[in-house]
Each structure stands twice: as C-alpha cells, then as structure tokens.
C-alpha cells in the first residue's frame, strides 16, 4: 500500500458529507449539528486557499485503489509555528496502520512545505484508539482539560498531545 495525501476534489463531497454527519464522531469533533452539502461544497471550493490565509487544510488519505479518510491541520499559527492535527479513518480501514502512515506523511509534508515546529492534538479521554495512535507516533501527553466536552449529558476530559517536529 503506497499511501499519499491529496487536496480535496469536488468528487469528495459525498465522502465528506458522510463523515461530517456521522453522529458517532461528533463527540470527537465538537460538532453539534449536521452539515449541509452546500456548506461542504463551499468548503471544498475554498480548500485551495493557502494554510497561511485559511489557517487550515484538509487532505484526503488515499492510494491508487481507495480513499481511506481525511487528515486536517487547523488553527495554524505562523508566528508560533504550530497547528492542531485531526485525523479520521473510515471505519472499515481502521486498525490497519493507515493512521500511523498518514501521520508520518503529514509530518513530512509540513517539514518540507510549511513552517511548522510542532503539531498538537486535542483528544477526548474516551477516544482510546486516537490516544494510542498519537502515543505510538511520538506525541507526548502534555495536559488534561478537565470536563472539557459535554456530550450525552456528561462531561468528558480532553487530553492534549504535542509533538515537536524539529529542534
């Protein structure tokens, strides 16, 4: 499997619509209401904007035969050279090493093309798969935000992970 990252295409609309409107994922993305196809179409149309202007970028994880999910950089701060990172792998492709390969690809991309010193991930404390993924790939737990997310009538802690990419 030769994974790559690519920019969003108009043909990704359905795939993005399914992910953004999957209520089981909302707890991890702080989403509280569905996205319309119109909104997502506009997002895709504006995805060509540079990370310096848009402060975020979403890329598709793919190979020659499949699309496997999305990886995002968000809240890009060019002065402090940091960005948040988020990843979603389609359910049928999870636990196959795609997440780890995707993290390596995005880290390589930013080291070569974006002035980023560090990446960070905010992960709900009950998202054990993501916590394991980021730990396994060299991200360090640097803090816990107590009762940070309110979901299903209860509060959930959020764990902050960080990785320094270059010294």
Q: How confident is the model over 86-138, as pLDDT tens digits?
A: 999 999 999 999 999 999 999 999 999 888 999 999 999 999 999 999 999 99
Mean pLDDT, the chain, rounded, equals 89
The predicted model gives 11-37 an average pLDDT of: 77
Q: Which residues pair with 116 in a beta bridge?
A: none
The domain locations on the chain are: 4-164
Q: Provide the CATH number for the domain formed by 4-164 in this structure.
A: 3.40.630.30
Specify the higher pLDDT residue, 50 or 99. Answer: 99
Q: Is the pLDDT of residue 27 over 70?
A: no
Distance CA 132, CA 125 (A): 11
Shortest CA distance to 132 belongs to which of 97, 104, 108?
Answer: 97
Model-level pTM? 0.89
- Collapse the DSSP code of 101 into the 3-class scheme (helix H, G, I; strand E, B; otherwise coil) and give the result: helix
């Amino acid at each position: 499997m030769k994974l790559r990252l690519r920019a969003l295409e108009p043909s990704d609309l359905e795939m993005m619509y399914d992910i953004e409107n999957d209520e089981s994922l909302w707890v991890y993305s702080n989403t509280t209401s569905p996205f319309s196809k119109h909104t997502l179409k506009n997002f895709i149309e504006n995805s060509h904007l540079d990370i310096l202007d848009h402060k975020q970028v979403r890329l598709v994880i793919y190979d020659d035969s499949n699309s496997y999910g999305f990886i995002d950089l968000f809240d890009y701060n060019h002065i402090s050279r940091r960005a948040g990172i988020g990843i979603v792998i389609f359910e049928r492709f999870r636990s196959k090493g795609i997440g780890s390969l995707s993290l390596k690809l995005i880290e390589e991309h930013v080291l070569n093309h974006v002035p980023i010193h560090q990446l960070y991930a905010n992960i709900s404390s009950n998202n054990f798969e993501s916590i394991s993924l980021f730990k396994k790939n060299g991200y360090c737990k640097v803090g816990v935000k107590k009762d940070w997310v309110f979901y299903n009538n209860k509060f959930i802690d959020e764990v902050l992970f960080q990785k320094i990419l270059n010294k």
